[in-house]
Structure 1
């Protein structure tokens, strides 16, 4: 017992409702905030006297912050304890909400969105690390709680749109920031009382040593490279090649540093040795590329080609999210991994081909059917890849591995915006939609190949136990490099 609170006894349910509800609440904050501001961009621009094109930085700012923070929070959870990072993330969300609600300029609003992106990124990697530890200690199968995380995250991405519209209509655009404060306070209370206490963190020396162990330089280089890459992608179709070159330089510096660092944020040697985990990240990026391209590309096409309003077009995409959520739970509870990923990839290829057949004369019911099947594919892929990370990552590196999975998803989401911008540069026409399909077909074929021919992809999620969950190529808890998760030599 630590911190005056008891952890579950041997006979208690490890993944009880309170534990699961707390993790789910934290997991949904990030996807909700990624979409809730969409309906507020125009009012914000009008209020600040800023063009909507510039206000869009509030969307990309949160994406970049989240993509960088997800693996970083996994590292922090590993060193300081997942519950402490969980609580700290909730505090940062509340601060970000207050800063945004009181902001008087775009710069301050951007800072607020970055803070919210960082704070909301603490929940998923910390939660995955707690789930992993509880599964190993209790022997209980984590499929139910993993499936719940997937289902709720998928539903809340789209719920952010109507919620944002309701808040803006009822209380103005500042309400999209204020709403984070009560949510963060509720999460703080839930986490304090319902999550297991952490062990006392070991004293590891001064600030300089701590910065090295947390790999703050690696985090900074990762953030710089990703920001420059996103800057290049959002500039398309008028490419700013200087940004791409700078991103490649930052990437090269990151690789050089990570190969030399004693405790790298991303152990590149281990990652390259664990090909199965690397493949999972590639599948995740490809799956999210398709999901976001269809979600936002089809809504624009429906408005431009069919003359539908933004509200109606958005409602026609809702079945996509609902279908994904419905299939996630049953698959996760059964602990299935490879079969749902194969089915998802096959459906993805089929739906990419189907986009080539859509036109302005296609019945709306067919369009809805296509998006619904895409939702099924995305749901199966998300639950399968999440389970794969759980099985393939080293026990104590689960937080970082889960964060990198989310990061790969954000890369796919960001890339989708660039594809849509290039395809619809002359308007959201049938031709543009077919260009999107021509890009998605080879991407989904690659995803299918990476799934079918991945020999180390388990059929089912291991029930529990460290040995059952060792990643392919690992030589035990220390991994193939002979180091513990923090980078300390065990020789």
Structure 2
């Protein structure tokens, strides 16, 4: 009995010693792991707001701008399309430069270009000059998101974090929710000082970005493992995308040549990129990375729905429902609050498919609700519809961003994240075409109901894509 007791005590002491060693090892490992550099968070989040807020803030200003210059809705629509086109081209191109030269210089140059665009837009004497300002805004705001994703990926590698959920969630909230806050801010600015303030606000925003970026972003060390930039690939990509997007902006028989041109340039682009040793976009990676392609498809469909709602609903509130610009902005404000709450609540949860599933169902429900709206609909009902739409913005945008972070090659994170925004604005341009078609004679309730049918069909397609993507089941 004594020997047995001694052996039991020895076993207990051995287990205690092992546990103590494991605890010490864990503590040593935790102490040895460098923390995420929190000084980076503010400039990255602030910069990420520039593009989405400018893409949506203009929605409330389109009507007063048209009145100021005597321009038709078709003409003022170029203020939307110009930024989309510049951003769709600029994001992956600047993202590739971020991969090559580092995040800091591209972040600062982009912010400076935003400030210049703000000055030009504020003093613009004509609609044509305003469109030029929007193009500059598109290119200037194309740097911040690729720079942020590139920086976060670098910090994740330095600290050993597989997926920095906190910063990715915050990045998604700042970028996605400000896109929905944009109409409210735009309405407030128009109400206070007229539509020119929608452009002037970019001047202080740019100055803040430059100050934060210069002080807090680490100095970039250009990579020397590549001897050149694929300028030919970038040029062909820009030509291909420009032809395609111009056709989508005006899908008529007379413009079919643009679609043919886009297809021809795409064939040349793919052929050259496959033969180039250091391509702008490595087509071989996409061929073997179906999950990443599915993420880009989901991003496109998500933002067809999102922008259809933002622009279609906002214009209808002013013209169809008869609200002022500032009142329309206040009605859509709860949409942004839902987006923020849903992104924050679900951000630290690992589920990607569950976010996409719930977010898509919510937008289908919001789209169906648009069918019941008319000029007499109560304000609280309009707000409730916006709450449903906000859930999609909060969950789908975050889910696609997190999926890309896991699926993309670390060395090409800037390019891959830039392409995510390209597909986002491809969806935006498709939505712009849909809104223009249904509101061809004005933002009437009948046009809104036609738009709702298009959105329901798009939502059903997105839901089918989510359910069909088996790779998402591995990341429940």
Q: TM-score, normalised by structure 1?
A: 0.81
How far apart are the structure 2 equivalents of 1:362 and 1:299? 15
1:26 aligned counterpart, secondary structure: helix
Q: Deviations over 1:217-273 (max 9, x none)?
A: 222222223333333233257863333333333333333333333322222231132
Q: CA deviation at 1:343?
A: 1.7
Quick one: which of 345, 356, 366 aligns to 1:341? 356
**Is 1:318 the counterpart of 2:333 in the alignment?**
yes
Q: CA deviation at 1:409?
A: 0.9
Quick one: which of 143, 148, 152 aligns to 1:127? 148
Q: Confirm or deny: 8 A CA contact 1:151 1:328 kept in the other structure.
A: yes
**Is 1:192 the counterpart of 2:207 in the alignment?**
no
Q: Specify whether residues 419 and 51 from structure 1 end up closer, same or farther in structure 2 by C-alpha distance, changes over 3 A only.
A: closer
Q: Specify whether residues 113 and 404 from structure 1 end up closer, same or farther in structure 2 by C-alpha distance, changes over 3 A only.
A: same
Quick one: which of 279, 283, 290 aligns to 1:275? 290
How far apart are the structure 2 equivalents of 1:185 and 1:304? 36
Quick one: which of 358, 365, 369 aligns to 2:384? 369
Q: CA deviation at 1:316?
A: 2.2
Q: Confirm or deny: 8 A CA contact 2:308 2:432 kept in the other structure.
A: yes
**Is 1:441 the counterpart of 2:462 in the alignment?**
no
Aligned match of 1:147: 169
How far apart are the structure 2 equivalents of 1:438 and 1:396? 42
How far apart are the structure 2 equivalents of 1:174 and 1:359? 31
Quick one: which of 91, 99, 117 aligns to 1:70? 91
1:457 aligned counterpart, secondary structure: helix
Aligned match of 1:118: 139
Q: Confirm or deny: 8 A CA contact 2:184 2:326 kept in the other structure.
A: no
Q: Confirm or deny: 8 A CA contact 2:356 2:466 kept in the other structure.
A: yes
Aligned match of 1:484: none
| Further displaced range: 119-128 or 267-276 | 267-276
Q: CA deviation at 1:306?
A: 3.8
Q: Confirm or deny: 8 A CA contact 1:423 1:432 kept in the other structure.
A: yes
Q: Specify whether residues 146 and 11 from structure 1 end up closer, same or farther in structure 2 by C-alpha distance, changes over 3 A only.
A: same
Q: TM-score, normalised by structure 2?
A: 0.83
| Further displaced range: 302-311 or 63-72 | 302-311
Aligned match of 1:470: none
Q: Deviations over 1:12-53 (max 9, x none)?
A: 53151x311110110001112223344555665676676664
Aligned match of 1:22: 43
Q: CA deviation at 1:76?
A: 0.6
Aligned residues: 445
How far apart are the structure 2 equivalents of 1:107 and 1:40? 16
Q: Deviations over 1:347-367 (max 9, x none)?
A: 333444444455566554344
Q: Which has the larger radius of gyration?
A: 2
Q: CA deviation at 1:79?
A: 0.7
Tell me the C-alpha RMSD between the 2 structures: 3.0
Unaligned 5+ runs, structure 1:
1-8, 462-491
Q: Specify whether residues 53 and 249 from structure 1 end up closer, same or farther in structure 2 by C-alpha distance, changes over 3 A only.
A: same
Aligned match of 2:111: 90
| Further displaced range: 297-306 or 166-175 | 166-175
**Is 1:13 the counterpart of 2:28 in the alignment?**
no
Aligned match of 1:218: 233
How far apart are the structure 2 equivalents of 1:166 and 1:316? 12
Unaligned 5+ runs, structure 2:
1-30
Aligned match of 1:453: 468
Q: Confirm or deny: 8 A CA contact 1:93 1:180 kept in the other structure.
A: yes
